[in-house]
Amino acid sequence: MIDSLVLASNNTGKIKEFAQLLQTINITVKPQSTWQVEDADETGTTFVENAIIKARHAAKITGLPALADDSGLVVDALNGGPGVHTSRYAGVGADEITYTKKLLDNMQDVPDTERGACFVCVLVLMRHADDPIPLIAQATWQGEITRERRGNNGFGYDPVFFVPSENCASAELPSERKHQLSHRGRALQQLLKLIQQDQDVTA
């Protein structure tokens, strides 16, 4: 039975978002910084590889079940980039103003009809560091890249990710609505079902 998790992230935006998303379940979630765990080296070439690396790293150091998220932005006009390099698109440690500006600059000549993109989220829950069958959930969120930053909610690339169904950028959505639509929110709903099934089996 899982009653507590370590979140394998030191990203303040993700920590805040997961805290909001997970507040309805009876599982205590604390960020890996609680145990002074540094970020793992993301050496994988896919989202799922990197999520497993991060979850295993946190589980090994803390001795607790670990939940890791590897998310990114996949842009059609950039041949799927920045992809797994999303957080390092403008260099390690660059802030969101810098990397969203780089994205918009690189797409300034891309016509409106070719600005399709999607957010991708892969969640991995490892019960322990040597877990051979981790729980894995993934989801995508389709949208388009704007021509300028819009909105002040969310984090990362939210201000440049336009959501056609809502006629606004992700960063202009109320948090509750974003959680219903987003890649991370829907992947988490999948994961919660997997956790429940897993706990029903092991109960």
Other beta carbons less than 10 A from residue 142's beta carbon? 14
- Which residues participate in catalysis according to the annotation? 70
Q: How far is CA 16 from CA 41, 143, 183, in A?
A: 22, 23, 16
Identity of residue 20: Q
SS (H, E, C) the chain: CCCEEEECCCCHHHHHHHHHHHCCCCCEEEEHHHHCCCCCCCCCCCHHHHHHHHHHHHHHHHCCCEEEEEEEEEEHHHCCCEHHHHHHCCCCCCCHHHHHHHHHHHCCCCCHHHCEEEEEEEEEEECCCCCCCCEEEEEEEEEEECCCCCCCCCCCCHHHEEECCCCEEHHHCCHHHHHHHCHHHHHHHHHHHHHHHHHHHHC
